[in-house]
């Protein structure tokens, strides 16, 4: 029972810090997306594409969450956006406190949109708010069409599902229809875009969704 | 500082339970592999193949770890092996206590090899021993060749790395040479097999490694 209490306390403390982050974002007029996926689903590649596709319309900043290293933040900066790296030193998700520290390094007044790229993990990131306006997730097609049933919380919490690596559809057995159907069974409001971040296929819907978030 | 202590206590308590599990396995003459990967890397497909390829030589049991659901255990039973499902109810890894409960459902005396299929996650499963004789991991090629640098603990802890979905090599940019080189830089003793669990390509080395573990 003690363990349960500790976990609940951690989540409550996190929720309070997330609400503070959110107030800071709202005051600065910045919209924030918490982007989640399994390792290797294509979060950074999607962001590189998004910076190329939307970077002239929206001023984009990225908070990069990784266990260690700064390869992803370097990729984002090469793509032309400002990036702050968080190293979680073993933790399998970002929390509101980590994001508060990272955001202190950003000049929020000079940004329209901040994407928080979470640690690659389909489980815990969905439990920890970081102050975002919306959660978005990527499922890459080669991961298989059984993932909504196996990791329902992430599908439940996300406002957007990007089914990525659609260019591999001819070579894998996973069925994007089944992914979409099972995701909607968990979360009827979820917006689904079938994309390939590496070829650029299908990204216009995602860009429109980000534009609408920015106008909201 | 309290948090650090709680985490250390949890890991120490887990290590004690893992040692008890290990004694139970050794008394029964069963060898146990803790199989880890990101979601969708192909753990269950590898096990289906392994049961088909080795099931007449080695009596194989599987402990299936999932957040929820029992699809994977059903797949294992259809493949012809005995399976026990653990639902972690939100926890992103198995621990020694969960595995002890599952193992109580298995008739260890009737088995040569037990594979514990961990929750799909490249982070926390590497921190929690479950009583295994060896850890093995799968990295699927579409996840990308930057994963050893980003998730080093799992590569450090694993005795075997299966680079899976090699059939997709012509269609993805990830370089298996780089994966192998970076994995060996972290863990010089790691054994690497390039395989496709879906086509069966390259599995003989993995089978030989399991045979050698069984004879050890």
CA torsion A51→A56→A57→A61, rounded to 10°?
40
- Residues in chain A within 8 Å Cβ distance of B67: 123, 150-153
How far is C-alpha B96 from the geometric centre of its chain's CA atoms? 14
Q: Determine the distance in angstroms separating the CA of A3 from the nearest CA of chain B, rounded to an integer.
A: 9
d(CA B101, CA B99) in angstroms, rounded, equals: 5
Instruction: State the CB neighbour count (10 A cutoff) for residue A100.
Output: 16
In whole angstroms, give the CA distance from residue A29 to residue A215: 10
Mutate to test the interface with A, among B9, B142, B179 (most CBs of A within 10 A): B142
User: Residue B46's pLDDT is what?
Assistant: 98
| Residues sharing a CB contact under 8 Å with residue B191, sequence separation 6 or more, in sequence order | B159, B160, B161, B205, B209
What average pLDDT is seen over chain A?
A: 95
Check whether B1 has a pLDDT greater than 50: no
Angle, CA B117 vertex, CA B111 and CA B121 arms, to 5°: 165
ipTM of this predicted structure: 0.92
A8-12, B15-19, B172-176, B190-194: least confidently modelled range = A8-12
Binary contact (B124, A172; C-beta < 8 A)? no
For B147, which of A39, A143, A149 is closest by C-beta distance?
A: A39
Q: Is the pLDDT of residue A6 over 90?
A: no
Tokens for A45? 């590649």
| Euclidean distance between CA atoms A46 and A72, whole angstroms | 12
Contact B40 A68 (CB under 8 A): no
Percentage of chain B exceeding pLDDT 70: 97
Cβ–Cβ below 8 Å for A92 and B140: no
B149 touching A (Cβ < 8 Å): yes
pTM reported for the whole predicted model: 0.95
CA distance B184 to B167: 23
Residue pair A36/A136 in contact (Cβ under 8 Å)? The answer is yes
Question: Which residues in chain B have Cβ-Cβ distances shorter than 8 Å to A168?
Answer: 142, 168, 171-172
| Residue pLDDT, tens place only, B30-51 | 999 999 999 999 999 999 999 9
The residue in chain B having the minimum alpha-carbon distance to the alpha carbon of residue A144 is B40
Predicted confidence (pLDDT) per residue in A167-186, tens digit:
999 999 999 999 999 999 99
Q: Which residues contact B2 (CB under 8 A, 6 or more apart)?
A: none
Q: Cβ separation of B92 and A123 shorter than 8 Å?
A: yes
What chain A holds in terms of domains, given with CATH numbers, is 2-215 (3.40.50.300)
Mean pLDDT of chain B: 95
Q: Is the CB of A40 inside 8 Å of chain B's CB atoms?
A: yes
Question: What are B36's strand-pairing partners?
Answer: B137
pLDDT digits (tens, 9 = 90+) for A106-150: 999 999 999 999 999 999 999 999 999 999 999 999 999 999 999
């Amino acid at each position: 029972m003690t363990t349960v209490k500790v976990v609940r306390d951690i989540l409550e403390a996190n929720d309070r810090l997330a609400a503070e982050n959110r107030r800071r974002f709202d005051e600065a007029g910045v919209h924030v997306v918490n982007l989640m996926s399994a390792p290797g689903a294509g979060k950074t590649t999607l962001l590189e594409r998004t910076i190329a596709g939307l970077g002239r319309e929206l001023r984009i900043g990225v908070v990069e969450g990784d266990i260690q290293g700064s390869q992803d933040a370097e990729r984002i900066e090469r793509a032309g956006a400002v990036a702050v790296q968080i190293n979680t030193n073993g933790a399998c998700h970002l929390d509101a406190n980590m994001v508060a520290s990272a955001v202190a390094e950003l000049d929020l007044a000079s940004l329209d949109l901040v994407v928080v790229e979470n640690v690659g993990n389909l489980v815990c990131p969905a439990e920890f708010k970081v102050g975002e306006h919306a959660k978005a997730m990527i499922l890459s097609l080669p991961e298989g069409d059984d993932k909504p049933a196996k990791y329902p919380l992430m599908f439940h919490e996300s406002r957007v599902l990007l089914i990525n690596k659609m260019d591999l559809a001819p070579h894998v057995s996973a069925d994007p229809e089944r992914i979409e159907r099972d995701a909607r069974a968990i979360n009827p409001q979820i917006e689904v875009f079938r994309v390939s971040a590496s070829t650029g296929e299908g990204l216009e819907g995602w860009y429109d969704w980000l534009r609408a978030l920015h106008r909201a």
